[in-house]
Structure 1
Amino acid sequence: MRSRYGVFLLTLPSALTWAQVAPPPNYDQKLSDVVVTATRAGTPLDQMTLNTTILTGEVLEAAPDQTIDQVLKNVPGVFLNDVPYYQKDPTGQSINVRGLGYGRTLVLIDGLPANDAFYGTVQWNLVPMSAIDSVEFVRGGVSSLYGNYGMGGVININTKTPQNSSQDIAASYGAFGTGNVAVSKDIVASDAYQMRLSADYFSTAGFQNYATIFPASPNNIKNGMGTDSAANSNIRLENFFKPTADTNAFLRLGYGTMADLSTNYAIAPNLIQTANFAGGTNTQIDVDKKTQVNVFYQQTQFYKQSGSTATSGVDRNQPYINANYTDPYSTLGASAQYTQDLHAAGIDQYILGIDARNITASNTTNNLNANGSGQVVSVDYAQGATKFLWDIRAA
């Protein structure tokens, strides 16, 4: 069910099915030029030296999957968990490309990192499916451009930009209470300023039941345990500027939440709240020279409860909360890059750049009494910070 300008269209199956004969394919058709921006310099697809897959907007819209990780799971070379990210872990999902293991594939959103700074996982809920224009997947090592995260490859998610002053509404609903709704509004004030506001909400009652081993309970589900329900919300405000003919700039603000029951206890939910900011400029100095500067900040609040089941006493077999976790963490990063096309002495292009990132995190754990009274019996606390700084050189 999809509509534009707020008019909902609903198609229901008819009692009579009409057979349609597809026209013969046009073997003379040619694809338009595709530029892969995940190379950090903008390389035409037919000049890519690495195995590259492009998922266009048409492919994403035709996919039955509700989340982008499930779309990527069907791409050759990508290894993701069978269950969607929202039922796997509230902090995100690990990704494995070409068998190189966890933490070796960089995921970008419009060229900026989406890998969780603290856990190293990917927070796929930072970008709604309705906001994605295309996905670029470059297999193979790009560590010379992106560091150790690029050993397996890089996935760059390109979001939509305003085309005209219009609005879009999309909604879907399926089994197990799974559905989403997305709205967006584009404003093109002038060639120098454009804006896109988008919001997305996704929820599901889950579909996985867990067999009982011990202790026995009705309906083959442990006490306090049920299907893996989850809910995500996301809102993004994107501003695009063109102060001069040779300079483009952007400013993006976002806020997202994710709640789930991945501990398998209905009394122990997890909640993650993320606010993010990103901005940057891209300036064409000459026909073969350009500079790019980006800065980004993300603040995450992670609240987690741990559940358990009493094994003795009058509360035997009853679930209770045994710990509360409060884990706020943030990342601040920036990058600057200079690119020049040479096409001489066997060198097509070189890139000089610098990347920096600072990560801070803390953890507070309240351990509760095993009798389920909620009394705090001990408190654990930790905090730390990590800084990264590295130069990038590539020919």
Structure 2
Amino acid sequence: MPVTREMFNDVMVPNYNPAQMVPVKGEGSRVWDQAGKEYIDFAGGIAVNCLGHCHPAMVNALQEQSQKLWHLSNVFTNEPAIRLAKKLTDATFADRVYYANSGAEANEAALKLARRWAIDVYGEKKQKIIAFTKGFHGRTFFTVTVGGQPAYSEGFGPKPGAIEHVPYNDADALAKLIDDETCAVMMEPLQGEGGVVPPAQDFVKQVRELCDKHNALLIFDEVQTGFGRTGTLYAYEQLGVTPDILTTAKSLGGGFPIGAMLTTDAIAEHLKPGTHGSTYGGNPLACAVSEAVFDVINTETVLEGVKQREALIKEHLAAINEKYNVFKEVRGKGCLLGAELTEQFEGRARDFLLAGQEHGVMVLVAGASVIRFTPSLIIPEEDIKEGLKRFEQAVAQVVG
């Protein structure tokens, strides 16, 4: 049956508005559509395809595991799940791992665990959760309410309660709101969807200190920043702060759906059998692929390479900006970068995205005025240069 983009409009729920072209093949950091047109991929499936498309290590892991065991449910465990959990705990602060299928599910688990821990240890009154405006934590009703973008959570009826927000990078506002009835503070160590906003100096340390003062858990949502994206396995390693709970997804599977929540023994013990679960969580296929991704990424060569790619991309964006003066600021870390548009082009990030597609380069937006770049962590230098050359043509087109 021939498939066309028009068919999407007939058969899919209209909550997405995908590009007019339909990608059919990917290899490394290049993608081809139905017409055979080639694109350089700076979008990376929204910070997911950390090893690009069809990386041999991932393909081999999937093929090998697909001939052994696909699914069991959590009535049983499996070898890939245990191996991956051991590697994750050995490489981080955590002692324990809970598997899910997505970042939202990992965050849902983290929030439920925080509430359960607080009730078990301190009683029913300790239930307040504080998060940050413009934060993003997923689309389940609990996580989208904790996320600080009301447009995503309004219009669905009564929201989960005892959730409050303060501006990101405003430790004074947090200090006024946090109290002994706060069970957790949830934050991204570098805001992604909210505009690629880095934490101010000492802000994260101040958040940690306030959590300690009020016996609240600090939850780091590292769904977008994690698994090498910022140049260390997890971003918290660069901030001098250790969270109590960390969530990870996106790059964790390199394109295969998997999420995980990491925490300590003392906190984990509050999710006893039956308190939470996931039919597909810890699926052998997903864990086998994730383990292969881990083995490639958690090396000095790749993590240092992420920092080199950051410098190269920023250098080329600065050169583009010298010519066209479209960016107010380029910010972010590693392969999670955002170019904020000047007032002249405010609200037009999507125009640059669409022009990019015309010229054979895929980028993202992070709000209406920020162009986001989340390429493969191992994107070759020649692809960076070629992709930014095409992006410059797109900028020239929009500027007119």
TM range (shorter): under 0.3
Q: TM-score, with normalisation over the residues of structure 2?
A: 0.23
Q: TM-score, with normalisation over the residues of structure 1?
A: 0.23
